[in-house]
Amino acid sequence: MSRALIDSDLLRPEAIEPETRAFMRWLAREADGEPRMYEQGIVALRDELAAGDGLWGLSPRFAQVEDRVIRYDGLQVPVAVYTPQEVRGICLDLHGGGFCLGFPHQSDDALVDLADRLNLAIVSVDYRLAPEHPFPAAVNDCATVAAWLVEHASDAFGSDRLIMSGTSAGANLAVVALTRLRERHGRTGYCAVSLEYGCFSLPPLPSRVRLGEDCPLLSPGEVTWLWQLYAPHGLELHPEVSPLYADLSDLPPALFTVGTADPLLDDSVMMAYRWARAGNRTELAIYPGCPHAFLAFPFAAADRANANIEGFLRRAINAGNAPNREEGR
């Protein structure tokens, strides 16, 4: 039987560790007086991100991470690729940024470090961004690269062990890419997916409604604003916009990672339930008091969360393309 177990003690205020509380106090001081995303606008946000200003510090560009173009199914999709000396598997990485921000090199340091430790080739998709390219442009780009890897990974990298990692908006795109693969090919071809503080529902869930605009790093109002730039009106329940409402059967094992101070907490909790309810192996890791994007910061809870994700991916690579469903189902 598949289960997504939730420890209610993790949701209590007293579960927040002193170091996490100290981090959140520091974060509040750093963000004090800073405008919200919707007050700055997309152009200013992109300039700030590219310059490495503000709280969203970026990795320096690593020379060993190559820019390539995937040509497949009528599309040409730019990707960033890192290939370690030994390749035991390939990770398709889908970056975050609310469908409107971000680029594949923004986490070169973390991705190269992970790749070297796990002997993973990393393929990070430079998908098209809204509002210039609203839904389904990003979905089409990510699904195209995902399908290309299923067909060509062995020739390109010497391994057919595929995993996927999606962060925030990238987690949404990862789920949709997997459902497309299943619909079109009868199987996804991926043996595991790590989904980190994903946004899976355009209609707001309770955690997004209840938190105020003083929420650090990502506020409910910012989530709403980014969704409006990405998805045309009337598509709120479209399964490729809000994959919480999609058919989630026959998908790979998934690890969901989220903090309790994230307006997208309920997205991960409800998606983990639906993932398990569809018969897929499911792990849900909840970190008390942690905000959106906490994995990028150096404190104990983030270190444990990153180690948990690495362990999940390591097990998936070691197991290869094991059957998705547990025996007896």
Q: What is the mean pLDDT of each run of 10 residues along the chain (329 residues)?
A: 65 93 94 91 90 70 91 96 96 97 89 94 97 98 98 96 98 98 94 98 95 90 97 96 98 98 97 97 96 95 97 91 37
User: Are residues 292 and 259 in contact, defined by beta-carbon separation less than 8 angstroms?
Assistant: yes
Would you tell me the crossing angle of helices 300-319 and 108-118 to the nearest 10 degrees? 40
* DSSP, residue by residue, 151-203: HHHHHHHS---EEEEEETHHHHHHHHHHHHHHHHHSS---SEEEEES----SS
Domains and CATH numbers, the chain: 8-319 (3.40.50.1820)
Q: What's the pLDDT score for residue 56?
A: 64
Secondary structure element (H or E) that encloses residue 80, with its range: strand 75-82
Predicted TM-score (pTM) of the model is 0.94
User: Are residues 285 and 195 in contact, defined by beta-carbon separation less than 8 angstroms?
Assistant: no
Radius of gyration of the chain, Cα coordinates, nearest whole angstrom: 18
Rounded Cα distance, 247 and 10, in Å: 29
Peptide bond into 35 cis (omega under 30): no
